[in-house]
Chain A
């Protein structure tokens, strides 16, 4: 285990679950972030149960549940519905997508991103996403940004978050020029908690991001660009849709590029022989 693998004695793998749990608890106790704990609990329990069952069925082993926990709690926080079933379906869909939407050993979509987008498309009359703020002062937002930044830095993903945030702000200025709407109105969405979950937990997912650092930064930038296009079309859920479009395309390109890079030297070796 290298020097970066633990913080305060806590395995880096468990830092993101700890952060998102803290966000949930602080948000709920301070601001009534959730309508109730029960829906979020259902989302978490469904995600973890689905992960246990599917990993055992498909791989013969029980998977580490940190990933499923994050998926479940993200669904529990991000999703809004009067009903219980969308929380269960969305969580199960997120986990199941990891086992189905795969190509050459990799899953292509961030599971939560895929399931939220699927629900927005398939059940728009039953769900929406988180819209509540963190109070009306800047401090809760700053605390979460600082804590989140420290944690994504510990897991070597800060460059992704940074690239996206800088790109979003720059493109917000461009949107301001195009639409004539106030710059502050264009930049406003990134100050909300939905974006905090998006930039710390979705676009940084190691399993669904490309490998090279420059590639990760490029993908983050492209997500922001596609999001801008969608925003100009007045898509309320532009960031989710943008990641759902750009993420898998980037993964497919990388898979193809990597396999080509392996094939070409092998062909050369064969030709030389």
Chain B
């Protein structure tokens, strides 16, 4: 209600002319700002020579040349969901990197989600060539009707036999496969004691208690009692677009050894029914134990702080990361300021003119640490906030300049380019729980797009606390519905390439060319007292008054896992002063002056 104001006198006076001019100027401001906005995505033709000169990298989509011919398909689900099938079945394209056969070259595992569709394991033949060996090793035919379909996969050596095993999470029966010496995989789900059905969209390997055996966190999305192929009714959707707590439960499987696991989530303080889409485990406070960050759709993120291996306590609200509800779809950590502190990147939804959530980048507030750690969202200040309908994201030094960059994939549903579902989506998304929670109330999609055909984001770290978006200029020009991105040095040449899994789209292999002159160093770690995969090993590289920290991860981003080998760009520095490795066992190892431009294989000292 606009209340009282004074009446202006009749006739036009100079003051009124000023008011008219001010009014016109205000109307023109958006147009003027658009021309000077420094954060608008760079556009123009992707030309390798200029990209290398200006940004230090160029990414060439090389899947066909590499022998990668993979097409993701979505499931059909129960006919009661037909009217919004593409919206419900909008996930399942996932990629994870592993050297499953110990030949020193990272391989690619990619999931499919159509009923009866096959997953693929692309064995790295070297020289940028791959072959799908999933059928040969027993990892292809895993989406058999009645068992659900794949949502993602993570690799970790749960029995410390030196070979990475596979945990496959699904909307359906989760599966554990034992790696038999890099030759074949044996299904060991029953022995492991995994549940009969979980509608999971995230999982990470972590050794939460530091006992040297990898434990497993699994985050549910839909309630585990729901079989999406045989629905009793259509009341399966979130109770709210922002405050839903009717999703799937969380699981923490403690590794008992001997291939057996015990579910201990309640006992360890992890109790949530938020709609989890991503999780990452990392030692965020320097305690020597991994904390667990969970990004949730339809609500706030959760941060489970590790009480020295004895359990977790949820501190999302206390630390600031669990306050404003959004649509969390990725969780990735990076030390972007080279100060040894991890920030946590969470992707959300932004559609210009419709929905402004913005991605979050949670940086520890200056002067806070330990149990008193506080986070603030620096995504806006750093220019990495608007990623569209963002899904997967990963940090990595893409141009070897000594700074971690950020690769984000996006796009929800790309169908009819001329018609979109936003209006109908916004109707129910703002509705009360009795409306939004019933899929029958959701208007039919009818072939319309929702956040589709989006340009990806490659944000180059400028070293001054900001990022510049250059995707179009460095060759990342696809507009598929990106879900999962993983980074790896596939040819052991000191360069991070990118693999992108797209929903209902092809697997893309972006081979990276980096401008010559920058140096690098990589570490391939193997635990002895700690888990053999060295997941959780914390490595800090010191050079030229800089330090950068990275951690071996058992899963990060959206349904993804990067290579275990840690890659550090060094810029023009021709040497490294020292490297500090903090093993999950608590042991600290220091390397002095390791040679640059090579991969160091490091085994945890006895």
Binding site for B on A (CB under 8 A): 13, 16, 31-32, 35, 51, 54-55, 57-59, 61, 63-64, 66-67, 70-71, 80-82, 85-86, 89, 92-93, 96-100, 102, 105, 110-112, 118-120, 122-128, 131-133, 135-138, 141, 152, 155, 157, 179, 181-182, 184-189, 191-192, 194, 200-201, 204-208, 231, 234-236
Contact = CB atoms under 8 A, between A and B. Distances in A.
Nearest to B28: A122
A124 B30 CA distance: 9
Given A184-B435, A184-B441, A122 B1 contact: no
A133 B33 CA distance: 31
Contact of B1 (A31, A181, A201): A201
Given A13-B4, A135-B240, 13 more contacts: A32-B323, A57-B19, A59-B7, A59-B8, A70-B3, A105-B7, A128-B351, A131-B241, A136-B239, A141-B432, A181-B443, A185-B442, A234-B424
B427 A186 contact: yes
A61 B433 contact: no
Contacts of A206: 1-3
B423 A205 contact: no
Interface string B413-456: 00000000011101111111111101011111000000000000
Contact of A125 (B16, B244, B353, B444): B353
Nearest to B299: A136
B22 interface: yes
16 contacts: A67-B2, A70-B3, A92-B26, A93-B26, A96-B19, A112-B2, A135-B243, A136-B240, A179-B443, A182-B440, A188-B430, A188-B435, A205-B1, A206-B2, A207-B2, A207-B3
B5 A67 contact: yes
Contact of B426 (A125, A131, A138): A131
B31 interface: yes
Contact of A185 (B7, B356, B424): B424
B386 interface: yes
Residue among B2, B8, B423, B444 with most chain A CB within 10 A: B2
B27 A122 contact: yes
Given A59-B6, A188-B428, A89 B29 contact: yes
A187 B434 CA distance: 12
Nearest to A19: B1
Interface string B383-394: 001100000000
Contacts of A92: 22, 26
A73 B211 CA distance: 54
A184 B6 contact: no
Given A96-B26, A125-B353, A135-B243, A236 B426 contact: yes
A81 B240 contact: no
B15 interface: yes
Interface string B229-263: 00000000001111111000000000000000000
Contacts of A182: 440-441, 443
A85 B444 CA distance: 38
Contacts of A89: 26, 29-30
Nearest to A63: B5
B242 A185 contact: no
Interface in B329-375: 351-356, 358
B34 interface: yes
Residue among A127, A152, A184 with most chain B CB within 10 A: A184
The secondary-structure label for the interface of chain A is: helix
Contacts of A118: 27
B602 interface: no
B324 interface: yes
- A-B pairs, top 8 by smallest CB distance, nearest first, are A188-B431, A136-B240, A124-B353, A123-B30, A234-B423, A192-B430, A80-B356, A32-B324
Contacts of A110: 2
Contact of B3 (A13, A57, A97): A13
Contacts of A99: 8, 16, 19, 23
Nearest to B15: A57
Contact of A100 (B23, B31, B428, B432): B23
Interface in B441-493: 441-444
Contact of A191 (B6, B18, B431): B431
Contact of B356 (A57, A61, A82, A231): A82
Contacts of A235: 423
Contacts of B427: 185-186, 188-189
Contacts of B239: 136
A58 B431 CA distance: 44
Given A63-B4, A92-B26, A181-B424, A236 B354 contact: yes
A120 B440 CA distance: 31
Contacts of A132: 242, 325
B44 interface: no
Contacts of A135: 240, 243
A99 B354 CA distance: 30
Contacts of B31: 122
A204 B430 contact: no
A71 B4 CA distance: 12
A176 to B, nearest CB: 10
A205 B2 CA distance: 5
A63 B436 CA distance: 45
A82 B3 contact: no
Contacts of A54: 19
B9 interface: yes
Contacts of B434: 184
